[in-house]
Amino acid sequence: MSVDSTTIEDLPSLDVDPGEIESFLLVNGWQRVAHSPGVSAIWENAALDSSVMVPYDSEYRDFGLRVRDALRTISLVHGIEHTALPLQILSARSDIVLLRADQLTPGDSIPLSEAKVLVDGISRMMLVAACSAIRPRPAHPGRRPGAATDFVANDLRLGHTIRGSFVLPVFVRHEGAVENSSTDPASGPVVFSRRVVETLASGLEATRELLDPQGSITLDDAVERGASAEMVEAVGAMGGQEGVRALELRFVLSGSIPAGSDMPSRIEVPRPQVDQVEKIVGLLRRRPTEAQGRVVGQVVRLERAGNDDGGTAVIDGYLGRSRRRVRVNLSGDSYRLAIRAHEERAPVVATGEVSLVGRSWYLTGDTDIQVRTV
């Protein structure tokens, strides 16, 4: 793309503020080399042999012109089409989930009642995806984990609908996010908010297969991937509205966190059959829920205070399909077993109620630990 092929007027500055532009530049290797507080800043990228000025004060008459000039430079040097640029900039610190109902509706509007079902549906899907990211279950009745409700309350934002269509953008913020303390050597630390987005995607794919009468996925596999009765109900409510042919979710992932190679960028769920929705929801709700979580792995650290006969064992292992570092408080013979397993590097199996406290995963309640026999 040449400079001449993209006019300044073609580049949208709407919904992109200077702070978001600077977040994009920072994430993509630019450095601020000059700064006039409240007025502007100069950013450079030596590898791209480029510089850009980011204006701050919207009171200046040429503010919009300078923002568009900055966007044109970014579009050119990063090879991003100008129509896609705003979302790329907004995703610097947030994942973006774009929800669209493919429906037979004239114009760019839908009835308020349908809009409410879509907003309620995506909110419910995000909440149960957060619950499944903590612990996969066939259903999530009753009180939800505090980490899941806090995530929905603090880390989700609904953006303006995309111009020219009725698409709901949901921003999943990563700044100040709770980190899963597990570390996958291939991808680095996993941020909880990103894990929720990944669980939403895999759970939605599993839900699509469950709602296909010809699908071959098992209930247990679907649950492990993030599907639940509540997610199926939400898809049924949103996709079952009059005139809806399919639900489409697209994912624009933040460059600030490495993305898994199997993360889809787009998922489409055809209009579900009402009887199939009811059938799958019933099966999931009747599915037995394990009273305890089970982590399989190795004791990588022991923490002991004073002369107590117990302490905390940190286990690096798998809870279902998710790799996590889980802390479990032990005493007596259980703690001595953890010491022996740590010294001998023997695999262990620990059970308990899974919870996320601050930045750490715990097994609590009636806990148990055993050396795993191969």
Instruction: Return the sign of the alpha-carbon dihedral for residues 53, 56, 58, 60.
Output: negative
106 confidence band (pLDDT: 50, 70, 90): low
What does the pLDDT average to over 177-196? 56
pLDDT at 165: 59
Beta strands at 50-55 and 40-45: parallel, antiparallel or unpaired: antiparallel
Q: In DSSP terms, which residues pair with 349 in a beta bridge?
A: 296, 370
The answer to whether residue 155 scores a pLDDT higher than 50 is yes
Rounded distance between C-alpha atoms, residue 81 and residue 89, angstroms: 12
Label each residue of 7-20 as H, E or C: CHHHCCCCCCCHHH
| 362: confidence class by pLDDT, cuts 50, 70, 90 | confident
pLDDT, residue 81, reads 86
pLDDT of 33 strictly over 50: yes
Give the separation between CA 6 and CA 81, rounded to whole angstroms: 9
Q: What confidence tens digit (pLDDT) does each residue in 6-31 have?
A: 333 333 434 688 888 998 898 888 99
Tokens representing residue 101 in the block: 């109902």
Cβ atoms within 10 Å of 186's Cβ, excluding its own: 8
* pLDDT tier, 186 (very low <50, low <70, confident <90, very high otherwise): very low
For residues 271-292, b (16+ Cβ closer than 10 Å) or e, as one string? bbeeebbeebbeebbeeeeeee
Alpha carbons within 13 A on the beta-carbon side of 169: 19
How many residues are listed for the chain in this entry?
374
Percent of all residues in the chain with a pLDDT value above 90, rounded to a whole number: 43
Q: How far apart are CA 220 and CA 290, in angstroms?
A: 12
Give me the mean pLDDT over the 274-281 stretch.
96
- Edge to edge, what strands does the sheet with 266-270 contain? 156-158, 167-173, 94-103, 244-252, 266-270
Report the candidate in 237, 207, 239 with the shortest Cα–Cα distance to residue 224.
207
Give how far the C-alpha of residue 81 lies from the chain's centroid of Cα atoms, to the nearest Å.
25
Q: Token pair for residue 253?
A: 């992932």
Q: Copy the structure tokens of residue 296.
A: 């399989």
Spell out the long-range contacts of 34-40 with Cβ–Cβ below 8 A and sequence spacing 24 or more: 40/66
User: SS3 for 208?
Assistant: helix
